[in-house]
Amino acid sequence: MDQIGSNKPEKKDRRDFLKFLLSLGLTGFGVATIYPVISFLKPPKQAEVEVNSVVAGKLDDIKTGESKIIRFGNKPVIIIHTEDDKFRALSATCTHLDCTVQYKKDEKIIWCACHNGKYDLYGKNISGPPPRPLDKFKVVIKNDELIVSKEA
């Protein structure tokens, strides 16, 4: 290190200023490199079509005591034709960890195979780890067709 130079205050100031400029430049360079990379990794939001109702099929597609999973937007919805001849539609996504549930005919419950979560036919969580009931959907029969729509 230059002994004489470092004793002069104005030279030290100049060095500090240069250091500041350099580190500012380096930081800028770093940000300019990393920012596009991080932005690139973030998946773009796909324009989702807002779905309010879906034609789930003909009335006799689902026999009494049977169930069917349909696509509602990009989520699965389960339709159950109950023994007392009613149709129920519920979100098929388990509220626990995102698995897809199924209708268990023999026990008359909705069951998730992943962690043994159980719901009654109204979507209420009755046993196992699910923390919330399944979301409900409305089923309307129009001209022999099942129409599933969001609960108002």
Distance CA 80, CA 104 (A): 10
Q: How far apart are CA 35 and CA 45, in angstroms?
A: 18
Which lies closer to another protein via its Cβ, residue 8 or residue 104? 104
Residue 152, C-beta contacts closer than 8 angstroms, at least 6 positions apart:
138
Shortest spacing between CB 33 and another protein, in angstroms: 18
Q: Does residue number 130 form part of the binding site for another protein (CB under 8 A)?
A: yes
Q: What is the CA radius of gyration of the chain?
A: 30
The CA–CA distances, whole Å, from 123 to 27, 55, 61, 104, 131 equal 54, 21, 22, 13, 12
How many residues sit close enough to another protein to count as binding (CB under 8 A)? 25
Binding to another protein in span 34-73, by CB under 8 A? 41-43, 46, 69-71
Under the binding rule (CB under 8 A), the answer on residue 133 touching another protein is no
- Kindly tell me which of 9 and 44 has the beta carbon lying closer to another protein: 44
Binding flag, residue 7, another protein (CB under 8 A): no
Part of the chain binding another protein (CB under 8 A), chosen from 8-16, 24-32, 97-105, 142-150: 97-105
Q: Is there binding between residue 142 and another protein (CB under 8 A)?
A: no
Q: Determine the 3-state secondary structure of 79 from DSSP.
A: strand
Q: Which is nearer to another protein, 65 or 76 (CB)?
A: 76
For 114-121, the CB contacts below 8 A with 24+ separation are 119/90, 121/80, 121/82, 121/88
Q: Name the residues that contact another protein, by CB under 8 A.
A: 41-43, 46, 69-71, 74, 76, 92, 94, 97-102, 112-116, 129-131
